[in-house]
């Protein structure tokens, strides 16, 4: 439907920020990838949660690295460029209770990254997880060569937990679910940063905190 297609693009171009949340299955994935690319190219604040982080990896692999057929094995198990894969210790036949669940420690790789600043210079954070797929560690070096930085990893350094994109007002993807611990009176640091970036007030907030206010 050309009319619906045009209306969808008008809606996207009118937003102040883009959030791609968690989810399962391939419904809507092509649109999510297009939205992630639009946010990246046009410097629109982007926040990807769980699936949303994986979407950003697929998009950058396709459009920056030039791997046009890059995909998650959740959507295409025969893709020649599996940038997102099923967790090696998971079970593809017994799905009940086999997800990576609960609070897990994420080690921040640098105190200069945006996430560390939003978490008030913490060296590690504890956030809750709920996923079966993860970024393929074999392609991390390729992705980082094009500006994507995995600033948070698990305690073994093998699982990618947080990504950021350089030279962007707010481009963050997380494998965990910060909404699980976010509260009206105590929002998740990443949600707070995301909304502040959409309002154009993130830099002001970070400077204020650094000055002790």
Residues with active-site annotation: 50, 177, 179
Number of separate helices (H) and strands (E) present in the chain: 7, 10
Q: Are 190 and 182 in contact (CB under 8 A)?
A: no
C-alpha neighbours within 13 Å on the C-beta side of residue 160: 30
The residues, ordered by sequence, that sit 6+ positions from 212 with a Cβ below 8 Å of its Cβ are none
Give kind and range of the element (H or E) at residue 191.
Answer: helix 189-198
Q: What is the rounded CA–CA span in Å between residue 4 and residue 175?
A: 31
Helix, strand, coil share of the chain (percent; to 5): 35, 25, 40
Q: Are 163 and 57 in contact (CB under 8 A)?
A: yes
């Amino acid at each position: 439907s050309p009319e619906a297609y045009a209306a969808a693009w008008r809606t996207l171009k009118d937003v102040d920020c883009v959030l791609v949340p968690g989810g399962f299955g391939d419904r809507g994935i092509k649109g999510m990838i297009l939205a992630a690319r639009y946010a990246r190219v046009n410097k629109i604040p982007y926040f990807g949660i769980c699936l949303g982080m994986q979407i950003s990896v697929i998009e950058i692999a396709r459009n920056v690295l030039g791997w046009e057929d890059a995909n998650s094995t959740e959507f295409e198990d025969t893709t020649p460029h599996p940038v997102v894969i099923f967790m090696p210790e998971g079970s593809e036949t017994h799905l009940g209770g086999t997800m990576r669940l609960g609070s897990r420690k994420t080690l921040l790789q640098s105190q200069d990254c945006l996430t560390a600043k939003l978490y008030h210079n913490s060296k590690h954070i504890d956030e809750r997880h709920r996923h079966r797929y993860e970024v393929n560690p074999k392609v991390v070096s390729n992705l980082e060569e094009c500006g994507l930085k995995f600033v948070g990893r698990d305690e073994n350094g093998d699982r990618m937990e947080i990504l950021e994109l350089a030279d962007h007002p707010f481009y963050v993807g997380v494998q965990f679910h910060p909404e699980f611990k976010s509260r009206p009176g105590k929002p998740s640091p990443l949600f707070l940063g995301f909304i502040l970036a959409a309002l154009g007030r993130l830099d002001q907030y970070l400077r204020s905190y650094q000055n002790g206010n």
